[in-house]
Amino acid sequence: MARSKVAVTLEAETLNKLDRLVRKKRFRSRSQAIQEAVEEKLDRVEQSSLARECAKLDPNFEKSLAEEGMSEDVGSWPEY
């Protein structure tokens, strides 16, 4: 995957914590640590956006949509 360089400004204490993790071999480099941190944050943002959208759904309406027409189809389903 293509990579791009970016400049990041961090508070001194944050950078110290990051460097300690790199020294302890938790990450190969600052870049790897920051890459993973950004990816995790983006995943959480996407998950929370999905959760907010799901919370807007009406469970009863969604259930009725899911069950619509199922009674006719159930007889043709294979036995497991």
pLDDT digits (tens, 9 = 90+) for 22-79: 999 999 999 999 999 999 999 998 888 878 887 888 888 878 877 776 666 666 667 7
Identify how many contiguous H helices and E strands the chain contains and give both numbers: 4, 0
With cut-offs at 50, 70 and 90, classify the pLDDT of residue 10.
Answer: very high
Quick one: which of 38, 39, 19, 17 has its CA closest to 29? 19
Q: Write down the pLDDT at residue 75.
A: 65
What are the structural domain ranges in the chain?
12-66
Quick one: which of 35, 42, 45, 40 has its CA closest to 6? 35
Q: Write down the pLDDT at residue 69.
A: 64
Q: Write down the pLDDT at residue 49.
A: 82
